Amino acid sequence: MKVAIAGATGFVGSRLVERLHEEGMRLVVLTRNTAYAQKVFPPTAFPNVEIVAYTPTASGAWQSSISGCDGVVNLAGEPIGEGRWTPERKQEILNSRKLVTQNIVEAIVNAHPKPSVLVNASAIGYYGTSETATFDETNPPGHDFLAQVCQTWEAEARKVTDAGVRLVILRLGIVLGQGGALGKMITPFKLFAGGPIGSGRQWFSWIDLNDVVNLILQALKKPEMQGVYNATAPHPVRMAELSQTMGKVMNRPSWLPVPAFAIEALLGDGAMVVLEGQQVLPKRTLDSGFKYTYPDLEPALARILKL
């Protein structure tokens, strides 16, 4: 199987490349920085990886590399939890998803032969935020900025189905692994100053990095998978429970809360990513037969936070 991956050098993408390479697949890595990609995936260690330079927000010669691929995975997008959401930053967040997906779909439609499947990332921000509601794949979208971004993102991806290409949209929760969001949260615990962020009542819908990668692999291989799937663990927790579990696993106190105003001062509107949340359940994902390696939080954190 030959697979093209956009966003391959990111947190999820780099682990995906490793896993698919272990599976013996041929891979096309689409990257804005070929020198960096070659460091991440050196040819001696990744002989089946072809690195292709691309400008994700523009059509170009890179699109021809999609021809002959069996599948495409689109994980590209500017991080949403870093820096203040100025109007310019919001536009970057939107364009990095809308335009990249638009150009990848264009490449797939014009490919000869065409890939049979596009696995496109989205996010659970699609549903909006709530302390009381429970969401699964059948729920309608929310109305805030992230919900609007996800709707636009998914709408661009759905255009690939007009060309007869199977589409799987994965709405990702907060991915836990070495680095990523968790990497930013563990420092206070190491300094014996850890605790819940904000009220502690907001929901934290998470998924282990290895389960995300396994779900992408299943989506590529399983032709009956089609449509939207929540890439979240079946047992979301509230922020207070996350903090307590981190403290337990790391043998550190977890009572010192991080006040909401401190996060808001740092991130502005972007603070909603950690101060608000949603309880998202992976109903269709479980119905697809997917088996989680880490359905529960404590074993996942115990693996990740080995000290």
Instruction: Write out pLDDT tens, residues 175-196.
Output: 999 877 777 777 777 766 677 7
What are the sequence ranges of the domains in the chain? 2-175+205-233
- Predicted confidence at residue 79, as pLDDT, reads 86
Do strands 227-231 and 166-172 pair parallel, antiparallel, or not at all (unpaired)? parallel
Does residue 96 register a pLDDT over 60?
yes
30 vs 5: CA distance, rounded Å: 6
Nearest alpha carbon to residue 29 among 68, 79, 65, 60:
65
Beta bridge partners of 71: 3, 117
Beta-bridge mates of residue 166: 117
pLDDT mean over 47-71: 96
Q: 2-175+205-233 sits in which CATH class?
A: alpha beta
Query: What pLDDT, on the 0 to 100 scale, is given for residue 164?
Result: 96
Angle CA 276–282–288, to nearest 5: 160
CA dihedral 46, 52, 53, 58 (to 10 degrees): -140
| Residue range 18-51, pLDDT digits in tens | 999 999 999 999 999 999 999 999 999 999 999 9
- Give tens-digit pLDDT for 219-240: 999 999 999 999 999 999 998 9
- The whole-number pLDDT of residue 155 equals 98
